[in-house]
Structure 1
Amino acid sequence: MYNFTVKSVIHDYSVTFIEDTQATLLAELKEGDVIIIDNKIKELYKETLQPVLDKFRHIGIDAHESVKSYQGVEPIMQYLIENGFRKNHRLVAIGGGITQDATAFIASIMYRGVKWYFFPTSLLAQGDSCIGSKTSINFNKFKNQVGGFYPPNQIFINLEFLNTLSDAELKSGLGEMTHYYVVSGEEDFARLKREYAAALTDKQVLAGIINRSLEIKKGYIERDEFDQNERLVFNYGHSFGHAIESLTNYRIPHGIAVSYGMDMANFVSVKLGYISEETRLYIRELLSQIWAGTSISDIELDKFLVALSKDKKNVGKTLGLILNKGIGKIFRDMRPADDEFVGWMKEYFETQLTEAETV
């Protein structure tokens, strides 16, 4: 399978594709380690995980966005402190992105930093967030506004966890990975368009797509781990996408929201003369497969613009948008939220969503 090491200023960490989660956990865990596990995963994979959970201390969490907050991590930290967790002990996260974010945030601040391992169970986490070092929690209703950089020490990927994902969850993961393929270039994006349908049902095809997604991301984060320069392009689709998530109360899964966001970024890019309508529609052919069956027509434009104005990539009143000058030519563009921009957003919401939702 695919195995590699990510170089980090904080500490290098390995990614290993595995086939036996139980055996790996029993081999890696030591006395004093504590598992933080999504309760849904704990129940779905009880036969695999119970022998491990019987042997090691664990904390079950309901992996909702509310866990990714000061209020959400407080009881976890209280349990750790009250039950003898020490700096030489390790946290082991088993779950998706919410479990990852909560565990990473706690690991980064407990005793000024403890080691942690990650067993990602969602496609979003396996194909994207497991590497990159970011820790993020929400502040009130604003997504990912608090956090830092603190990578796991080891990551173990088992595609068997994807067997219980819904179609929407698989599409969300593929939607998130799509932005890496657009950033990478024509060849990679053409591959994803070609293999997208097969990836929904064929684990071997999906494994290749996950690995390539991580390869693309790895190259950027090793040059710009702290998201100051080149890596900023990976926010492509995310400014718009995060606004969609928050305004639909996370009804729209993250990667699907990002697929809408990429289309919005491309729409603005056409208005600015950066790309042709033909290029936008070429990318939209894939994006429309990802968002098919969802609707964001209930979002009010005024509220959307307010949410967009609070994006952490903005500078003052200027929007820090990631736009498109062609596949493989994604870049950061500081745009004023002026009447012209508002007009473009109004046009998008009035003319593009009906079409989008009937694809």
Structure 2
Amino acid sequence: NAAFEEYYKEQRIVHEEEWDAFMSVLRKPLPATFRVNASCRFLKDICSRLENDFRRSLENEVSDECGEYALSPLPWYPGNLAWHLNLSRKQLRKNPALESFHEFLKHESEVGNVTRQEAVSMVPPLFLNVQAGHHILDMCAAPGSKTFQLLEMIHQSKEPGLLPTALVIANDLKVQRCDVLIHNTKRMCTANLIVTNHEAQSFPSCSLAKDDSEAYKDHCKPQRLEFDRVLCDVPCSGDGTLRKSHDLWRKWSSSMGNEFHLLQVNIAMRGIALLKVGGRMVYSTCSMNPVENEAVVAELLRRSGSSVELLDVSTELRELVRRPGLGTWKVNDRGSWFQTHEDVPDSRKNVILPSMFPSSTSIHESHKVWHFK
């Protein structure tokens, strides 16, 4: 797709000398990855089998196909609980030498000990820094892999022998997707999850009574539920998923990111409104588009003023490969490039919004935005 290459070359999302390598990676199948449930009873046994049995046997059986490191832990995921298989999910299903390992993954996944999840999807929950007793909102939760990850975290953080006091509310707009969310999270067998069905940008204010009996007393009104953590993984153009969504190569256009921008801002602003003072929100997309990423973060800061600050997380997950986000970018509309909203024709100013453009003072002068690849 020539328009795709032109757009991202112009936005300079990678250095010029890296472009060919970048495109080469996008054309390769996405490797299979999975996580071991940190709170499961058989954690040590599963990790031992992965390290001592499957890792060694796979190196012998499929070394010609996928190199020396057929199976290895992701170095940035805490506790060596996330694993990377140097084969795609399609190759995993079709290779007879991998049948035993594939059956192991299927069984452990069905009982909730293992979750198959893309590596990039594992990143946002880790930066929430979930603590025991937190109230957490997952605003656009389906299909539920990140929600499951959050549930693992709250069960792992509890004191031994006690049930966690934390709460996860997982929301999604579509009823069918909520069904999938429930199906994927019920493997956790937890009482600490509530699934809701709302527009994320209009998620309602909730009340919380510490004691159910007190809620009915005239002198004791339920308190407004504010969240310690909010995961804002918004709907997006999804062009970061090209390695598995091959039809996107053909369908992609710059208008896709523009169309999602306002919805993303509105959802994220609602997430901020539901946060406690001192709480943390993580904003994430499956897109590489600065109109969906940096522009949204910049607009959140502009709208929120001094009530919200951008957090530098460069000291967290140090092994994760990252680079600073873009400080400048352009907006493309119907093949035309614009650097400021003033340049946009009057007939298109209701479509191409001021919030899509960089502010006059780059947010990088005082903060760093991390753009995860």
Larger Rg: 2
Same fold (TM over 0.5): no
> Please, what TM-score do these two structures have when normalized by structure 1?
0.31
Structure with bigger helix share is 1
Higher relative contact order (CA 8 A, sep 6+): 2
